[in-house]
Amino acid sequence: MNWTPLQDISQLQAIDASSEKKPCLLFKHSTRCSISNMALNRIESNWKEADAEKVTFYYLDLLAHRNISNEIAAHYVIEHQSPQVLVISNGKCVYHASHSEIRYNDILQTIK
């Protein structure tokens, strides 16, 4: 699975623009959290190569980039959670889930 690291707030503008053509999935990951590790594993173990054609994947290390997570919450008008997944389409958050609610099949239903 090819994650694009989310390491700069300016990437949010590029994500909004890119999401006009193809949805973007943002995964906010706390590397010290077992629940976050479980959610990441669920996404990666269910991912199929063909999914790369449907969605662009972004990975945010919350411990290294909490400021970006805060900006994501403000920019997409959602409450910060960790772990959290967001689907961005046409510059808007059209789906988000956190903790055990992160299910890859639900994500796929959103991006079809």
Tell me the domains of the chain and their CATH numbers. Answer: 4-111 (3.40.30.10)
pLDDT at res. 112: 72
pLDDT at res. 51: 87
6-56 confidence digits (pLDDT tens) = 999 999 999 999 999 999 999 999 989 999 999 999 999 999 998 889 999
d(CA 44, CA 25): 13
Hey, what amino acid is at 69? S
Residues near 72 by beta carbon (within 8 Å), at least 6 away in sequence: 12, 26, 28, 60, 78, 80, 86
Phi, psi of 51 (to 5 degrees): -65, -25
Share of the chain above pLDDT 70, in %: 100
